[in-house]
Amino acid sequence: EPEVTQTPSHQVTQMGQEVILRCVPISNHLYFYWYRQILGQKVEFLVSFYNNEISEKSEIFDDQFSVERPDGSNFTLKIRSTKLEDSAMYFCASSILGGGQGETQYFGPGTRLLVL
């Protein structure tokens, strides 16, 4: 069964460093998402991406965040200058469709980011 994969599974970085989290969505899916979960808090939507552009983003997704689909398979989340409060589990998801169809979002296993 196709699945969303994410790398790395864990990443430790120093405050102020740039990190890139990688995701490989399911191959025939067209919508891609990033969510994050700070320890002990709710899963929060960050951004959705379709047709090589952001379709929606949350207030969390400020200028230090960016997303990219550099090739036909990868979907990346970049954090330019990490802060302590960026420490969280980051989930990537994909869906065949999005918006009003109730399409299921399929999630990867997550990347646990720790900023020191």
Partner 1 sequence: AQSVTQPDIHITVSEGASLELRCNYSYGATPYLFWYVQSPGQGLQLLLKYFSGDTLVQGIKGFEAEFKRSQSSFNLRKPSVHWSDAAEYFCAVGHAGNNRKLIWGLGTSLAVNP
Interface ranges with partner 1 (CB under 8 A): 3-4, 6, 31, 33, 35, 41-45, 48, 55-56, 58, 91, 93, 95, 98-110
We find the least distance from the C-beta atom of residue 103 to partner 1, in angstroms, to be 6
Residues facing 92 on adjacent strands: 34
We find the least distance from the C-beta atom of residue 16 to partner 1, in angstroms, to be 29
Q: Tell me which residue of 57, 62, 49 sits closest to 23, measured CA to CA.
A: 49
DSSP helix/strand/coil, 84: helix
The answer to whether the beta carbons of residues 21 and 76 sit under 8 Å apart is yes
We find the least distance from the C-beta atom of residue 95 to partner 1, in angstroms, to be 8
Of 6 and 87, nearer to partner 1 (C-beta) is 6
Residues facing 73 on adjacent strands: none
Of 14 and 41, nearer to partner 1 (C-beta) is 41
How long a stretch of residues is the chain? Answer: 116
Of 15 and 38, nearer to partner 1 (C-beta) is 38
CA distance 80 to 107: 24
Of 106 and 115, nearer to partner 1 (C-beta) is 106
